[in-house]
Amino acid sequence: MDRKTRLEENEKLFREVNERVEQLQEGVSGADQHWVCECGDETCFVQLTVGLPEYRDVRSHEDWFLIAPDHEKVEVERVVDRRDGYWVVEKYDL
C-alpha cells in the first residue's frame, strides 16, 4: 500500500472513531468535547477539544477533517482554517 493510500485509510479510521464519539456525546451539553486528531498518522493520538457545534460544522463538509496544528500532510490536503487549538484541512481527491 502506498503512503497516500495508507494516510487516507488512517484518516477514515479516525473519522469513524470520532463519529462514534459523537454518538456517545449526543445530549451532552456544556463543556467542549474531545475528538481524535484525524491527521492520518497511525501513531498520533492527540485529543482535540472542540465544541460539538464546531465539530458538526467541520463534518458538514465531506472532505474536511480536524487535525492538531502542524499535523497537515501537504501531499494529500490543504489547510482550510486555523482555529483555536485545532486546524481544519480539506483532503484532495477523496
* pTM, rounded to two decimals: 0.74
Contact 57, 37 (CB under 8 A): no
pLDDT tens digits, one per residue of 56-91: 899 999 899 999 999 999 988 999 999 999 999 998
What is the average pLDDT across 44-55?
Answer: 90
In the chain, where the domains are located: 3-91
Per-residue pLDDT tens over the stretch 23-39 = 666 666 656 688 899 98
CA 7/CA 37 separation, integer angstroms: 13
